[in-house]
Amino acid sequence: MIAAIDNPSFQAFPWVGLALWAAFAVTAFVCASATRWVHSTGQLLEIPGTERWALILTACGVALLGGFAAAGPVAIPVALLAALVALVGFVKKRDAVVPETRRFLGRGGSANIAAEVRTAFKRSEERTRATKQPAPSLTDRAKSLLGAMSKRREKAVAVDAGSGGSADAVDAGAFMFLKKDGTHAIDTDDPEAMSENVRNSRKMLMAAMRAEATDIHFEPQEQQYFIRFRIDGVLQDIGKMPIGEGKGVVSTLKVLSDMNIAERRRPQDGTFAATLDGAKFDIRAASTPTSYGEKMVLRLLQSSGGVMKSGLDKIGLRPQVLKRLNEIIHKPYGMFLVVGPTGSGKTTTVYASLSEIDAHKHNITTIEDPVEYRLENITQIAVNTQAEVSFANILRSVLRQDPDVLLVGEIRDKETAEIACQAALTGHFVFSTLHANDTVATITRLLDLGLDPTLIQTAVTAVLGQRLARKLCEKCKQKCAPPPGLLKKFKLRDGEIDHIYREKGCEHCRGTGFKGRMGIHELLVMNDGIRDLITSQPVVGDLKKAAIANGTQTLQIDGLMKVIKGQTSVSEILRVTT
């Protein structure tokens, strides 16, 4: 006889309590993991306010512990909801500083989150394996370091050669220092493993790149270094640094730029590069001795080109000017000059003009000092004054290489001007830049260089005067009544224009009221009437009248037209044109 076996009963088992403890554990794990991820990601990407977000998530975890003990299960969903809200807030900040292909909020976000989780688990496994493995010998560590450095160099060179200098193939979320040849300049990408001087240099450059600054001024005073960024053409104070730390940053930048670190009595120039968020920047460094120490100025040039590669229709030209300019630059011979003061965007306009020409059907050669942007299918030559390779010397040599289009970076002397004009008369189209206040002043400037008036009359096809004006911030610009002078300038009646806009200032524009810049232009196209007026001592007033009769609109008129469209303010146009 088989004895009966009683099956155990689970009706009295505390399933509800077990589920509550499981929910509590999951919520605590979410808070802890989110805090750790926010802290590490924020430090890596230099996201402002990282510590605040990490503190909020930590507070959610602490509130969960206290709330569960005091209020019971209701604390779990409250803490979880608060943690998710804080996490979404931080993710918005993160998405603002990473490329679109890596963002969590938006299209493809789930795939990006999955990729981030896989990367996190992979790093965790690597750290676990590293702690379990015995410490490698000194020889093994040296071999490993050399191998990693070699791989990074090969990767950087391959990216630079294969993608035209684009850093998209490299870790897009990382910041890297590169040398002129594209090799890695620093042996580690981990900020914690870098020296303090390198970390300070890295932070300063990252801040400038994200602020879209074009220049960094690192200026010594008696007790500290002042840091200023040129943003939208205007210098802005950013911060200060103790004099000792500042000297360390200057030394680091000199090493990166291949300058003589021991030479502090003479000015020096150098170059290096850096990548951030998938964009590559070429950086020109210039040091000069002052009474308090060495001053360092960095010029940041984005290698991708931006507006430059988008063509002429993206630089702010009015439709009438754009149409005439497209006709001019496609002529078989002649000379097109872009004029304006330093920093007025002349190089960008010339490059944008070159991008309109088919480089596969034309032999295009540029002569520059230095080469600022890399262009595909175009021969680019750098001036080297130390080797006695000047604009004039290179230009003579290039004319023997069957060019169709020539770009002379800048006309600085009579010899270069004469050779460029002769090239324009012998079946080549020549682009160049010149420092002059406006289009009519270009003629007197060429005469001052010693150029023969007949050479100007026959060689120059058109002159484009240019300035860069700041655009009003779209988030805070204010409506205001148009001033009577503006209405009079355009012969408009009262009430014909309801309003214009002026600057105010907000967080988005750092309190300036402006965000970004645009070009204002003045195009002078040569005709017989203007050519007849070009003599050894031309009357400037007569040249201006002839230019206006030929359709030229002054820089100020072009700027005020953009004021009427709500793109900028009257005060800004007056600032850049007077």
pLDDT in tens, 321-350: 999 999 999 999 999 999 999 888 898 899
φ and ψ at residue 479, rounded to 5 degrees = -75, 145
- Asked if the model's pLDDT at residue 245 lies above 80, the reply is yes
Residue 171: band (very low, low, confident or very high) from pLDDT cuts 50, 70, 90: very low
Q: Which of 472, 473, 492, 474 is nearest to 482 (CA)?
A: 492
* Long-range contacts of residues 376-383, Cβ cutoff 8 Å, at least 24 apart: 376/164, 378/354, 383/409
Q: Which of 355, 386, 387, 382 is nearest to 371 (CA)?
A: 382
- Asked if the model's pLDDT at residue 216 lies above 90, the reply is yes
Question: For residues 315 and 308, what is the distance between their CA atoms, to the nearest angstrom?
Answer: 8
**Structural domain boundaries of the chain?**
19-96, 176-302, 306-469+518-552
Tokens 């008369």, residue? Answer: 425
Structure tokens at 357: 């020409």
pLDDT at 162: 36
Question: For residues 318 and 9, what is the distance between their CA atoms, to the nearest angstrom?
Answer: 86
Question: For residues 328 and 336, what is the distance between their CA atoms, to the nearest angstrom?
Answer: 8
Structure tokens at 150: 């070699």
Looking at the chain, the number of H-run helices and the number of E-run strands are 18, 16
pLDDT at 137: 42
- The structural architecture, per CATH, of the domain 176-302 is 2-Layer Sandwich (3.30)
Tokens 């191998």, residue? Answer: 147
Question: ω before 370 within 30° of 0 (cis)?
Answer: yes
Strand order in the sheet with 379-382: 379-382, 364-368, 405-408, 429-434, 334-339, 460-472, 514-525
- The structural architecture, per CATH, of the domain 306-469+518-552 is 3-Layer(aba) Sandwich (3.40)
Partner residues linked to 433 by β-bridges? 338
- Asked if the model's pLDDT at residue 231 lies above 50, the reply is yes
Question: For residues 38 and 93, what is the distance between their CA atoms, to the nearest angstrom?
Answer: 11
- Asked if the model's pLDDT at residue 12 lies above 60, the reply is no
Question: For residues 112 and 418, what is the distance between their CA atoms, to the nearest angstrom?
Answer: 58
pLDDT at 313: 81
pLDDT at 146: 40
227's CB contacts (< 8 A; 6+ apart) are: 204, 216, 217, 218, 219, 237, 238, 239, 240, 241
Residue 17: band (very low, low, confident or very high) from pLDDT cuts 50, 70, 90: low
Residue 53: band (very low, low, confident or very high) from pLDDT cuts 50, 70, 90: confident
Question: For residues 27 and 374, what is the distance between their CA atoms, to the nearest angstrom?
Answer: 52
Average pLDDT value for residue range 54-66? 75
pLDDT digits (tens, 9 = 90+) for 369-379: 877 777 788 89
Average pLDDT value for residue range 192-211? 88
With 0-12 CB in 10 A as exposed, 13-18 as middle and 19+ as buried, what is 27?
buried
- How large is the greatest C-alpha to C-alpha distance in the chain, in angstroms? 133
Residue 533: band (very low, low, confident or very high) from pLDDT cuts 50, 70, 90: very high
Most confident range, picked from 30-34, 125-129, 162-166, 531-535: 531-535
- Asked if the model's pLDDT at residue 129 lies above 70, the reply is no
Average pLDDT value for residue range 4-14? 50
Computed over every residue of the chain, the mean pLDDT equals 80
Q: Are 90 and 53 in contact (CB under 8 A)?
A: yes
62-76, 282-296, 309-323: lowest mean pLDDT where? Answer: 62-76
Average pLDDT value for residue range 278-284? 86
